[in-house]
């Protein structure tokens, strides 16, 4: 699936992902391809984008996550690489 992690200053990540993990206001969530549509608010914590043996980690305090089954988009006010 395609994943994007975006902050106001720049695109932090865009590319293929097997799984995206983040913390929402309802708890931790992991998204795989085919996940049902989801829109949620991010809670302070870590965002992890996993693709095979590669893993990219980011820290954020607030924002949104949108999932449509083939895309995961994370838009954060203050995400930064970890």
Percent of the chain with pLDDT over 70: 100
**By C-alpha distance, which of 64, 65, 67 is closest to 1?**
67
H or E element, residue 16? strand 11-16
- Start-to-end C-alpha separation, the chain: 22
pLDDT at 24: 97
pLDDT tens string 56-68: 999 999 999 999 9
Arithmetic mean of pLDDT, 26-37: 96
Kindly report the pTM of this predicted structure.
0.93
Alpha carbon distance 53, 18 (integer Å): 10
Mean pLDDT for the chain overall = 96
Beta carbons within 8 Å of 70's beta carbon, 6+ residues apart: 1, 2, 33, 34
Residue 69 has pLDDT above 90, yes or no: no
Average of pLDDT values for 20-26?
A: 97
CB 73 within 8 A of CB 38: no
């Amino acid at each position: 699936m395609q994943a994007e992690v975006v902050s106001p200053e720049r695109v932090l990540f865009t590319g293929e992902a097997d799984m995206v993990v983040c913390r929402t206001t309802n708890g931790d969530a992991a998204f795989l391809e085919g996940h049902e549509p989801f829109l949620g608010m991010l809670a302070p914590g870590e965002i992890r984008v996993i693709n095979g043996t590669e893993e990219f980690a980011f820290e954020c305090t607030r924002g949104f996550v949108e999932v449509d089954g083939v895309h995961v988009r994370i838009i954060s006010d203050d995400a930064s690489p970890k």
